[in-house]
Structure 1
Amino acid sequence: MSKKLVYILSAVMVGGLFSLLNIPAGWLLGSILAGMVCSFFIMKIYLPNKLFTVVLAIIGANIGLMLRPEQFLNYQALLLPFFITLTITIISGILLGKFLKRYSNLNHNTAFFCCLPGGASEVIALSHQYGANEQVVAAFHTTRITLFVLVIPLVVGLNEPIAGKQSNYFIDVNVSQVFLSISILISIMLVTILLSKRVNFPGSSLFFAIGLGFLCHLLFPTIEVPGFIMGIAQSIMGAIIGIRFDRKALLQLKEIGGISAITLFIYFMMSLGLATIFFVLTPIDWLSSLLGIVAAGAAEMASTAAALNMDAALVATLQMARVLALFLALPFLIKLFANTEQE
């Protein structure tokens, strides 16, 4: 327990240092790098899954408290462009899986599950049932998410002057205001955990937390959560992501060969192309489109948007819709494209 606590505190400190140095999404990036260094060169630490749920609840609550009712009016015009990009995303993922199968020694189902765009935990859990190499699938998705969460915030932060102006996490705040905001966050967190246990679906923790945060905003419209709380939550998330990427995952990809790196590169370029399509079809700017469309995790991308003073609610909505849509389509995709007989 003490080792886990020391690791998390160290990751938060590194994240805070990155933020002070004005590195885009510094809290998140700094802690991810700290986690990778720890995993590769110090020791492998296993953090409980409940910790990620708690972090999701805090981040979601922050996003919900920033949400305004008029924003929902703009989302209706995004339905058709979102459906178009989602369809292209799924088709591209299937084709990329066929490409990986063609030029690697992986069996059909392993390549198929490696390239499904999103819902990593659900995809990994199902892959074993269909004769796929679960370790390879987990390594591929872990690498993809880690790579995207490292690169995307830098791409956004360095190319958007407005977004690059990060929130000031170390401002002076009223003590009573801090106490009220923390009390609200704790309440939302507890209710979110309870609801997630009773009604569980991909992204449920983030969904419930954003909804509860929005309701609390309607009840307490003047409430403002100190920025350092969001920063610490981002650092803990980064610590969880960073520690998952280890030598074992790297060795798994190395065994596949250089085609794994090529596939990940194509995956990244595909995300840039999808963001461009969404940008052309909507009034949303390209960088917000990138955060909303890229298959890199709802919480991670929404957290990045919040850190860079962008529309985190929009990003979270697009990301959660993608994950939920893929989750609903997954049984049909498996039936159509996966080998029913275990290989």
Structure 2
Amino acid sequence: MGSKLVFLAVSFAVGWVVQMLGMPAGWLLGALATGIFWSFFVQKLIFKSELFTVSLALVGISIGFMVIPEELWAYRMLLPAFLLTLALTLAGGILLGKGFEKWAHTTGNTAFFCCLPGGASEVIALSERYHADQRIVAAFHTTRITLFVLVVPLLVGLATGGGVSLPVAVTQPFAADAWLVFLALLGAVVIFCLARFVTFPGAPMFLAIALGFAIHQLLVPEYSMPNIVLGSAQVLIGSLIGMRFDRKTLKELSRIGAASAAALALYVVMSVGLALIFFVLTPLPFFTSLLAIVPAGAAEMASTAAQLELDATAVATLQMLRVLALFIALPFLIKLFAKKENQHAS
């Protein structure tokens, strides 16, 4: 327990320093780098998944404070473009899996589960049932998420000027900040408890956004959520993702060789292309579209959008819908593309 607290404290300190230096999404990237360094050179730590639920809740509550009611109905205009890019994302992931099977000389089921775009926890858990190589599947998804979380916020921040100057804090009384931090923590506890009963993908964040919106509108409409809440959530997210990328993950990828690098590079190219299509078809700016479409996780991309003052609500909504849609489509995709002969392999 003590070693975990020390690690989280160091991640928080590094994230704070990187943020104060003007790095875009500094909280997230500083903690991510700390997690990777710690897992490689200090100690591999195992955290319970509930800690990630807490980070989702804090991100959702922060975004809930930013929701503008008048804009919510306008998001319906994004649905046709979202459905098109979702279909293309699934098709691209399946085609990439076919190529990955040939390049890496893995079984068809291993390649299929590696290249499914999103829902990493569910995909990794299911892969074992279908006798895919779970080590390769876990390594591929861990690296995919780490790569996107490292590269996308950095590129978007630099392109939008998010890292040029130090963040300007909203001026409000210290007592108000302290009260809001308390409400955010209390809200995170509520979401943590509710998440045990409401278990559909993205549920903690959906519930947290709704709770944050209700708190803001009904209790403290004149105040903004302090930056420390979103920053702390990003530290938790970055730390946990970074800690998952360890020597074992690198060893599995090295065992596959250049095929893994090629597949990941094509994943990046595919995501940028899909974001470009979404941008052309909708009124959202390109970098908001990129954060909304790239298969990298709702909390990571939405918190980045919030810090860079982009439309975090749209990003969170579309990311969560993608995960939810994949969860619904997963049984059909498995039936169509998972090879039956591998299901009974020893």
The TM-score range, normalised by the shorter chain, is over 0.9
Q: Deviations over 1:96-125 (max 9, x none)?
A: 000000111210100000000000001011
Alignment CA distance shift 1:292-1:37 (3 Å):
same
Q: Report the counterpart of residue 216 of structure 1 in structure 2.
A: 215
Partner SS state of residue 157, structure 2: helix
Q: Give the structure-1-normalised TM-score.
A: 0.97
**Counterpart in 2 of 1:14?**
14
| Paired amino acid for 1:332 | F
Distance 2:276 2:22 in 1: 27
- Per the TM alignment, residue 172 of structure 1 is displaced from its structure 2 partner at its CA by 5.6
Cα offset for 1:161? 3.0
2-side partners of 1:312 and 1:22: how far apart?
20
Write the distance in 2 (CA, Å) between the matches of 1:165 and 1:266.
33
Q: CA 1:302–1:120 in 2, change beyond 3 Å: closer, same or farther?
A: same
Cα pair 2:146 2:242 within 8 Å, conserved:
yes
Q: Deviations over 1:64-100 (max 9, x none)?
A: 1111101212201101000000000000000000000
Once the two structures are TM-superposed, the CA of residue 229 in structure 1 deviates from its matched residue by: 2.2
User: Equivalent residues in 2 for 1:3-152 (5 A)?
Assistant: 3-152=3-152
Aligned-pair CA distance for 1:265: 0.1
Q: 2:186 corresponds to which residue? A: 187
1:274 aligned to 2:274?
yes
Provide the rounded CA distance (Å) in 2 between the counterparts of 1:175 and 1:278. Answer: 41
Asked if residue 335 in structure 1 is aligned to residue 335 in structure 2, the reply is yes
Q: 1:5 corresponds to which letter in structure 2?
A: L
Judged with a 3 Å threshold, the aligned counterparts in structure 2 of structure 1 residues 163 and 209 are, in CA distance, closer, same or farther, namely farther
TM-aligned CA deviation for residue 173 of structure 1 = 4.0
- Quickly say closer, same or farther: Cα 1:299–1:164, change in 2 above 3 A: farther
Matched residue, 1:263: 263
Is 1:207 the counterpart of 2:206? The answer is yes
Query: Deviation per CA, 1:157-188, whole angstroms, max 9, x where unpaired?
Result: 1111368666435x664132123212321232
Cα 1:118–1:166 shift into 2, 3 Å: farther
Identity percentage over the alignment?
A: 51
1:222 counterpart SS class: coil
Aligned residue pairs, count: 342
Cα deviations across residues 103-150 of structure 1 (Å, max 9, x unaligned)?
112101000000000000010110100110111101000000000000
Mean Cα displacement is larger for which, 205-214 or 77-86? 205-214
1:175 matched residue in structure 2: 174
Alignment match, 2:231: 231
* Mean Cα deviation higher: 260-269 or 216-225: 216-225
Query: How far off is 1:247 after superposition?
Result: 0.7
Q: What's the counterpart of residue 250 of structure 2?
A: 250
- In structure 2, what residue type is equivalent to 1:116? L
- RMSD over aligned CA atoms reads 1.4
Structure 2 counterpart of 1:146, which letter?
A: T
In structure 2, C-alpha distance between the alignment counterparts of 1:74 and 1:266, rounded to whole Å = 33
Tell me, which stretches of 5 or more residues in structure 1 are unaligned?
Answer: none
TM-score by length of 2: 0.96
- AA aligned opposite 2:275: A
Task: Please tell me whether the aligned partners of residues 167 and 308 of structure 1 are also in contact (alpha carbons under 8 angstroms).
Answer: no
Is the Cα–Cα contact under 8 Å of residues 163 and 309 in structure 1 kept in the other structure? Answer: no
Q: Distance in 2 between matches of 1:38 and 1:163?
A: 25
Moved more, 34-43 or 269-278: 34-43
**Distance in 2 (alpha carbons) for counterparts of 1:162 and 1:3:** 33
Is contact 1:164-1:308 (8 Å) kept?
no
Task: Specify the code of the residue in structure 1 equivalent to 2:230.
Answer: M
CA distance in 2, matches of 1:163, 1:315: 20
| Contact kept in structure 2, 1:166 and 1:308, CA below 8 Å | no
- For 1:277, give the aligned amino acid: I
Deviation, 1:211, is 1.1
Distance in structure 1 (CA, Å) of the matches to 2:166 and 2:337: 43
State whether residues 165 and 309 of structure 1, in contact with CA within 8 Å, keep that contact through their aligned partners in structure 2: no
The verdict on how the C-alpha distance between 1:89 and 1:163 changes in structure 2, with shifts beyond 3 A counting, is farther
CA distance in 2, matches of 1:59, 1:214: 12
Question: Using the alignment, how far apart are the partners of 1:148 and 1:14 within structure 2?
Answer: 20
Q: Alpha-carbon deviation of 1:237?
A: 1.3
3-state SS of 1:66 partner: coil
State the partner residue of 1:307. 307
Deviation at 1:191, TM superposition (A): 1.7
CA distance in 1, matches of 2:268, 2:316: 19
Residue 291 of structure 1 aligns with which residue?
A: 291
The 1:289–1:164 alpha-carbon spacing in structure 2 relative to 1, beyond 3 Å, is farther
